[in-house]
Amino acid sequence: MFKNKYIEQSDLDKFPSINVTFFRFPYINKKTFYKIGKLHLKRFEIYDLMKKTDSSQRLIQLSKKVTKIEFKLQKLWGFKANIKFHRWFDVPKCKCSKLDNEENIGSNFKIITNSCPIHQLHLQGNRYAKSYIRRYKK
């Protein structure tokens, strides 16, 4: 069972995607909780838009919006804004290895597949990215 003096089980039921493990942090009050919940819903709306398009350009555009949401969520949870802890590979239509990238959360190491319509195109022309990305063909 979860404990937080500001948030009740009925609040949690409204946003089932929120990780209740973090509610041990005392500064997560009801207002912050609802901000977090609304950002989760916004992220899922963007995921739905991503599922409906095959345009790489649109997918990249939408994935950048997801990244902005991830930064806002980190701030609301009280963490330092750090892209190394984002689950960028979980966005719809990403073909990058989920298992390998999950193992590398928190590091500079990312595994991008040549067939990913989001991340492969996003990295083209980025000379710095090539120094820490190993590419696979699927």
Q: Is residue 2 part of a domain?
A: no
pTM exceeding 0.85: no
Task: Confirm whether 3 is domain-assigned.
Answer: no
Of the candidates 43, 112, 45, the residue with the CA atom closest to the CA atom of residue 71: 43
Residue 75 lies in a domain: yes
**Tens digits of pLDDT across the chain (138 residues):** 455 555 666 666 666 677 666 666 666 788 888 899 899 999 999 999 999 999 988 999 999 999 999 999 999 988 899 999 999 999 999 999 999 999 999 998 888 888 899 988 655 655 444 434 444 444
Tell me whether residue 61 is in a domain.
yes
Residue 1 lies in a domain: no
Q: Give the range of the structural domain holding residue 39, as residue numbers without chain letter.
A: 9-136
Query: Is 45 inside a domain boundary?
Result: yes
Dist CA 20 CA 62 (whole Å) = 27
In a domain, 105, yes or no: yes
| Count of other CB atoms within 10 angstroms of residue 12 | 16
60: its two tokens = 């990249």
Residue 112 φ/ψ region, left for φ over 0, alpha for ψ in the -120 to 50 degree band, beta for the rest: beta
Number of domain units in the chain: 1
